[in-house]
Amino acid sequence: DPFAGDPPRHPALRVNSWKPFNAEPPPELLTRSFLTPNELFFTRNHLPVPSVEPGSYRLRVEGPGGRSLSLSLAELRQRFPKHEVTATLQCAGNRRSEMSRVRPVKGLAWDIGAISTARWGGARLRDVLLAAGVGDNTGDDTGDDNEWHVCFEGLDADASGTPYGASIPLKRALSAEAEVLLAYEMNGQELPRDHGFPVRVLVPGVVGARSVKWLRSVAVSAAESPSHWQQKDYKGFCPSVDWDSVDFGAAPAIQELPVQSAITEPRPGAAVPAGELTVKGYAWSGGGREVVRVSGDGGWAGGVGELMGWGIGEIGGGKWGNEWGMGEMGNEWGGGLGK
């Protein structure tokens, strides 16, 4: 059993698939706290969880012109300043079970919990790429508008030895504002095994699939990742396309995700007492765009907030707008907690 070495999991997680392991926190636990506790953070694995011995771990970084680096975990921690960012990760399949009620969709039947928020710590991908010889004009010499890319590979591999992989545009990787991390900490602890121990990519505001876990290699390339998950999955199509007519080459790979929101309490079909009712939920937008308004019947109390990323709040209880300080948010990719 290739999954025999998978780590233990929290019993409260709602499991969509055991092998590979895919699970989400129950809605009411997701909005109990602004940062999702590590053991409740949704997990999306395509393959068995690799066992990595931190002492012998090496990250390979391939820059332009054949230049490369091999970094131990200690070197990654010591050579590059630690940067922290609060960011929400969402799987492209979040809320698929609701979509399937409108029209059947292929894929894991996620409820509303394939989204979670953490405080991530690690080296900036930008700093590591600069150390590998990437300059701000890398990719400018193609003579056309084609973007360059940064390709990532994981240490998890299928039976044929092919690893999980994905890529992001080089422009995002080099942008200081985009805050792309090679993360080794999650909520102040080392990464849990399910979330990429010892190092993962963390791309704020972008579909979870690009935040490659158990990171083995980073390579600057004129082309996107050749991986199945970049080329033949995680793309969006119009409603007339179905699984029999799909041409994956015809659509761009998903990067930034659009706005998303869901109500976590009460759940659909729940019996509720007459009178005033507190409704809880979350709102988030990809690409670092602000959530400027959330409305329910009678409005989201507290009104407009400057949510860069993720907010959780209650409708009807008041005070959404002032319970989350800018101090905690700053220019980050997380929103705030409201009541």
Q: Return residues touching ligand MTE (CB under 6 A).
A: 41-47, 89, 91, 154, 156, 164, 195, 208-209, 211-214
Site string for Mo ion, 42-71 (x = CB under 5 A): --x---------------------------
94 binds, among Mo ion, ligand MTE, none (CB under 5 to 8 A by kind): none
Decide: is 91 part of the binding site for Mo ion (CB under 5 A): yes
Query: Using H for helix, E for strand and C for coil, what is the string for 75-138?
Result: HHHHHCCEEEEEEEEECCCCCHHHHHHHCCCCCCCCCCCCEEEEEEEEEEHHHHHHHCCCCCCC
Q: Which is nearer to Mo ion, 85 or 114 (CB)?
A: 114
3-class DSSP state of 3: coil
14 binds, among Mo ion, ligand MTE, none (CB under 5 to 8 A by kind): none
Q: Which is nearer to Mo ion, 85 or 209 (CB)?
A: 209
Q: Which is nearer to ligand MTE, 71 or 114 (CB)?
A: 114
Query: What 8-state DSSP symbol labels residue 162?
Result: P
CA distance 151 to 225: 5
Q: Which is nearer to ligand MTE, 41 or 324 (CB)?
A: 41
Q: Which is nearer to ligand MTE, 83 or 213 (CB)?
A: 213
Which token pair is 29? Answer: 């636990």
CA distance 302 to 181: 33
Give the nearest distance from C-beta 6 to Mo ion in angstroms: 18
Site stretch for Mo ion (CB under 5 A), options 57-65, 87-95, 166-174, 272-280 = 87-95
Q: Which is nearer to ligand MTE, 199 or 291 (CB)?
A: 199
Q: Which is nearer to ligand MTE, 134 or 207 (CB)?
A: 207
Site string for Mo ion, 27-46 (x = CB under 5 A): -----------------x--
With vertex at residue 298, the alpha carbon angle to CA 297 and CA 300, rounded to the nearest 5 degrees, is: 90
Decide: is 209 part of the binding site for Mo ion (CB under 5 A): yes
Give the nearest distance from C-beta 109 to ligand MTE in angstroms: 15
**Of these, 50, 196, 198, 208, which contacts Mo ion (CB under 5 A)?**
208
Q: Which is nearer to ligand MTE, 126 or 193 (CB)?
A: 193
232-250: burial string, b at 16+ Cβ within 10 Å, e else: ebbbeeeeeeeeeeeeeee
Site stretch for Mo ion (CB under 5 A), options 53-61, 153-161, 205-213, 306-314 = 205-213
45 binds, among Mo ion, ligand MTE, none (CB under 5 to 8 A by kind): ligand MTE
Task: Give the Å distances, CA to CA, from 85 to 74, 178, 270, 312.
Answer: 20, 10, 36, 18
CA distance 276 to 253: 44
214 binds, among Mo ion, ligand MTE, none (CB under 5 to 8 A by kind): ligand MTE
Decide: is 174 part of the binding site for Mo ion (CB under 5 A): no
Q: Which of 282, 270, 269, 294 lies closest to 334, judged by CA?
A: 282
3-class DSSP state of 40: helix
- Scanning the chain, the segments in alpha helix (DSSP H) are 27-30, 73-79, 96-102, 125-131, 170-174, 228-231, 326-329
Decide: is 155 part of the binding site for Mo ion (CB under 5 A): no
CA distance 1 to 226: 28
Give the nearest distance from C-beta 224 to Mo ion in angstroms: 17
211 binds, among Mo ion, ligand MTE, none (CB under 5 to 8 A by kind): ligand MTE
Q: How many CA atoms lie within 13 A of 228 on its CB side?
A: 7
Q: Which residues bind Mo ion (CB under 5 A)?
A: 44, 91, 208-209
